[in-house]
Structure 1
Amino acid sequence: MATDIRTIERPSSPNTYLMAPQGYCSTAQPDADSPVFDASAEVLFDALLGYIANQSGWKITEADRAHCHIDLVAATKLLKFKDDVTIDTLIVENMPGKSRLAIYSRSRVGYHDFGANRKRVSKLVKAIEGELGISA
């Protein structure tokens, strides 16, 4: 079942990371704002699928092209802990050919993730920025 980032309820433990445009989530405050990419939501979605396919220990559990939504499990390198990641690619209103991301990464176990979810999201976003570019 797909996770709806717009209505997530974050735990009190510091083992999640949320990047999303302000106002996208009705029930949670993002940790960071998403950049605007110089690509359509569909092109961004395809770039994400390519990136994910090249990540060791990452497995897509759901990819819905019609809704530009991805759910995946990312295993940590050292101890193979499984973390859940949900990604939405979003059309930017009044900016044709531009898109943004909403990404919610969370640990399944442990109270603290020691920044693992933030690092995962940051690495993903930097890779996609390098491939597609961002809008100034």
Structure 2
Amino acid sequence: MCLSLIILSACSGSPPDNLGADQGRLTPCPASPNCVSSQVDSDDQQIAPLALQGSPNQTRARLIDILSDEPRARLVAQDAHYLRAEFSSKVLRFVDDVEFLIGEEHVEVRSASRLGYSDFGVNRKRIERLRQRLAEQP
């Protein structure tokens, strides 16, 4: 039992130390196909930013509500223009870091797996689901 817990906890990995926003930019995606970002040029990793829903402050509040309602998601960092959440997979508890940089015109996004090479499209699907939820009326 203890060995199983150790193995499962190892799947979460440690958060990268380079996450966050710096001068209006989120951390670039690694070369591996387990990351999507609205701030990359690579077609396979590029995803459109999220549209604001009302003001930046209203959008931020809506994103916080949405994240609090997402299964296996935990908001771990926030300030006036930045949010970061950790999403855990259902079975092995792999952790993905999801970031939002809320600007005056739109929300830059980045979603990346901490471990592994491929994410089988999970990060892209997650951002598209969050986009849909954000666009819905509260």
**Which residue, out of 27, 30, 48, partners 2:63?**
48
Q: TM-score scaled to structure 2, two decimals?
A: 0.75
Q: Using a 3 Å threshold, how does the CA distance of structure 1 residues 82 and 3 change in structure 2: closer, same or farther?
A: same
Structure 1 equivalent of residue 31 of structure 2: 12
Look up the equivalent residue of 1:85 and give its one-letter code: V
SS of 2:97's equivalent?
strand
Hey, what does 2:111 align to over in structure 1? 105
Counterpart residue type for residue 86 of structure 1 = E
Tell whether 2:52 aligns with 1:37: yes
RMSD: 1.9
Q: How does 1:90-129 map to 2 (within 5 A)?
A: 90-92=103-105, 100-129=106-135
Moved over 6 A (4+): none
Q: Percent identity?
A: 23
The one-letter amino acid of 2:75's match is I
Change (3 A) 1:106 1:35: closer
* Cα contact 2:53–2:134 (8 A) shared by 1: no
**Distance change >3 Å, CA 46–CA 74, structure 1 → 2:** same
The secondary structure found in structure 2 opposite 1:103 is strand
Among 46, 71, 78, the alignment partner of 1:63 is 78
Residue 87 of structure 1 aligns with which residue? 100
- Structure 2: distance between partners of 1:131 and 1:78: 31
TM-score (norm 1): 0.76
SS at match of 2:136: helix
Aligned AA for 2:96?
Answer: D
Q: How far apart are 1:7 and its partner, in Å?
A: 5.0
Distance in 1 between the 2:53 and 2:62 partners? 12
Match of 2:20 in 1: 3
How many residues in Structure 1 have an aligned counterpart in Structure 2? 116
Q: Which amino acid aligns with 1:9?
A: P
Measured in 2, the distance between the counterparts of 1:113 and 1:128 equals: 23
Contact 2:47 / 2:124 at 8 angstroms: preserved in 1?
Answer: no
1:131 partner SS: coil
Q: Distance in 1 between matches of 2:26 and 2:123?
A: 19
- Report deviation, 1:34: 2.3
